[in-house]
Amino acid sequence: MSDINTVDLRGFVSGAMNEVFDTMLSMDLELAEEGVQANVAGERIVGSVGFAGKAVGSVSIQVNDAFARSITAAMLGMEEDEIEGDEEVHDVIGELSNMVGGDLKSRLCDGGLDCELSIPSITTGSDFRMETKGWERHERLVFRYQGQFALVNVYVKTNG
Amino acid sequence: MPLKILAVDDSKTIRMIVKKAFKAYNCEVIEAENGKEGLETASKEKPDLIILDITMPVMTGPEMLEELKKDPALKETPVIMLTAESGKENVVQILKMGVKDYMVKPFKGEQLIERATKIVTLESKKGEEKDPAKRYFSIVEDLQVLTLPQKFDRPASVEIERYFKLKVEEMVNTEIKKFILNISRVGGTNVTLIRLIIMVIQSCQKVNVGIRVVGTSALRDELKGFAETSEITVDLSIEDAKGAL
């Protein structure tokens, strides 16, 4: 079984984000250097999936409203003004977090850290902060695409 | 009779992607949001192929598949499983369930069609060009012409960009060094169009291919309104463009 402290979380998540954005959205993401602040202020949306088993944790993707709409239009093959409502945007961001979380979950399972994936959840708003405690690992990755940012947070710990 | 494809996924996004993938073929895509709804729809519609997600609320994909296999009228219906998890154990589990094939998300519509054609016979809709590149690209004398469609939206742009990259590679290795981007049929300007025009011009310049844009006077005036395209010369006919190249 892999040691959670040596698992290449950054590599796994960055690979999954690039593959998902390239395949589904034809967007070439650029991973920012560690420590770069993501400008996702204002109205924003967070798509998250959790996993539980020998490894417990979550993967969340946070983008601002404008980028979320660009992503939705690209995913559904339409123009932004054709988006019918928030439901479509939420579904797309949820599905992205499901794909990235699914990839990480698979890699953890392949390393002996068996776990199950949850259904995606969505948080929206402009005035909220995410605080978490008690994790063994936390990775924060910032991606850029044409002046927009996607912030990914990964929290993991071993169970028991 | 069109083929019936049943897409069972709790994500509307994935159902839409499946629907778009089969759009060019003589198929009817029916949707269901979970395994329970999927079973009911399958009993009623008797689909020729089921595209089934694994993780869904109410009833999961594997649970639906189990029920499907118990039903003599549906047990032979081929199923392609969709999963966000590519782990070895997950793949082995999927194959044990007796599905025809599986796809790991993310996937492109074309990849799904490729898998589906191994299971069912897909017929292109009448009037649909089988080679999408031929819908947009043509050779006129010593010129490569790219003609954009009337409805120029993001999916069309993505498809065209993919073939354009191949055409540029071809031009580098052939005698064809002149390119015309014909936007005359496009219904109106949008950000996607502006981005594509800039990309085409820059790509041609990079490989020393002469490029001209052909459009209507209305489109020419609209392009002048965008900072990125305000300096672009728009010829009003292919003949004019040929003369300028």
- pLDDT tens for residues A6-40? 889 999 999 999 999 988 988 889 998 887 777 76
Exposure pattern of B124-150 as b/e (b: 16+ CB <10 Å)?
eeeeeeeebbebbbeeeeebbbbbbee
Interface test with A, best of B23, B34, B153, B154 (most A CBs within 10 A): B154
Question: ∠ at Cα B108 (B105, B111), nearest 5°?
Answer: 95
Architecture of domain A9-158: 3-Layer(aba) Sandwich (3.40)
Q: Considering only alpha carbons, which residue of chain B is nearest residue A78?
A: B154
B125 belongs to a structural domain: no
Mean pLDDT of A58-78: 92
Contact B13 A92 (CB under 8 A): yes
Are residues B180 and B111 located together in one domain of the fold? no
Are B166 and B93 in a shared domain?
no
- How confident is the model at residue B131, as a pLDDT? 63
Same-domain pairing of B7 and B109: yes
- Give chain B as a 3 state SS string: CCEEEEEECCCHHHHHHHHHHCCCECEEEEEECCHHHHHHHHHHHCCCEEEEECCCCCCCHHHHHHHHHHCCCCCCCCEEEEECCCCHHHHHHHHHCCCCEEEECCCCHHHHHHHHHCCCCCCECCCCCCCHHHHHEEEECCEEEEECCCCCCHHHHHHHHHHHHHHHHHHHHCCCCEEEEECCCCCCCCHHHHHHHHHHHHHHHHCCCEEEEECCHHHHHHHHCCCCCCCCCEECCHHHHHHHC
Q: Provide the 10 A C-beta neighbour count for residue A82.
A: 13
Tokens linked to B80: 């392609």
Task: Calculate how close chain B gets to A132, using CA atoms only, in Å.
Answer: 26
Per-residue pLDDT at A106 exceeds 60: yes
Return the pLDDT at B156: 82
Q: Are residues B22 and B54 in the same domain?
A: yes
Out of B56, B86, B153, closest to residue A106 by CB: B86
Angle, helices B12-21 vs A65-76, to 10°: value is: 30
Name the minimum distance, in Å, from the CA of B89 to any CA of chain A: 8
Q: How far is B166 from chain A (nearest CA, A)?
A: 16
Has residue A43 got a pLDDT over 90?
Answer: no
Across the range A103-120, mean pLDDT stands at 90
* Mean confidence (pLDDT) of chain A: 89
| pLDDT, mean of residues A48-55 | 94
Chain-chain contact of B12 with A106 (C-beta, under 8 angstroms): no
Chain position carrying tokens 């044990």: B96
Which pLDDT score is estimated for B7?
97
Q: How far apart are CA B29 and CA B49, in angstroms?
A: 10
Which candidate from B83, B86, B154 shows the least CB-CB separation from A73?
Answer: B154
Question: Quick one: B62 and B16 in the same domain?
Answer: yes
Give, for all 245 residues of chain B, the pLDDT tens digit: 789 999 999 999 999 999 988 988 899 999 999 999 999 999 999 999 999 998 888 999 989 999 999 999 999 999 999 988 877 777 788 888 888 888 999 998 888 998 999 899 888 776 555 566 777 888 888 889 999 988 888 778 888 888 888 888 888 888 888 999 999 888 888 888 898 999 999 999 988 889 999 999 889 998 988 888 888 899 998 889 988 88
Instruction: Quickly count: other Cβ atoms within 10 Å of residue B118's Cβ.
Output: 10
> What is residue B228's predicted lDDT score, i.e. its pLDDT?
86
Does residue B126 belong to any structural domain of this protein? Answer: no
Q: Residue A18's pLDDT is what?
A: 94
Last residue of a domain, one of B117, B146, B180: B117
Whether the per-residue pLDDT at A135 is higher than 80: the answer is: yes
Please tell me which of the candidates A20, A78, A88 has its beta carbon nearest to residue B12: A88
Let me know whether B85 and B179 are in one domain: no
Q: Do B81 and B141 reside in the same domain of the chain?
A: no
Chain B: give the shortest CA distance to residue A27, in Å.
Answer: 10
pLDDT for residue A108 is more than 60: yes
**Segment 11-50 of chain B within 8 Å of chain A by CB:** 11-14, 16-17, 20
Check whether residue B20 and residue B63 sit in a common domain. yes
- C-alpha–C-alpha distance, residues B91 and B102, integer Å: 8
pLDDT band at A127 (very low <50, low <70, confident <90, very high): confident
The per-residue pLDDT for B86 is 76
Q: Distance, in angstroms, between A15 CA and closest chain B CA?
A: 12
CB contact under 8 A, A98 and B192: no
- Is residue A92 predicted with pLDDT exceeding 60? yes
Q: Is residue B12 part of a domain?
A: yes
pTM: 0.73
B49 and B154 inside one domain: no
- Chosen domain end from B54, B83, B117: B117
Q: What pLDDT, on the 0 to 100 scale, is given for residue B171?
A: 84
What is the extent of the structural domain holding B32?
3-117
Q: How many structural domains does chain B have?
A: 2
Q: Is B166 inside any structural domain?
A: yes
What pLDDT shows up at residue A68? 96
Q: What is the CATH number of the domain that holds B55?
A: 3.40.50.2300
Cβ-in-10-Å burial (0-12, 13-18, 19+) of A54 comes to middle
Chain A interface residues (partner B, CB cutoff 8 A): 19-20, 23-24, 26, 73-79, 87-88, 91-92, 94-95, 98-99, 101-103, 105-107, 109-110, 114, 117, 119
Q: Give backbone dihedrals phi and psi of B99, rounded to 5 degrees, phi first.
A: -85, 160
Burial class (CB within 10 angstroms; exposed 0-12, middle 13-18, buried 19+) of A32: middle
The answer to whether residue B219 sits within a structural domain is: yes
Is beta strand A121-125 parallel, antiparallel or unpaired with respect to B210-214? unpaired
- The CATH number of the domain where B141 resides is what? 3.30.750.24
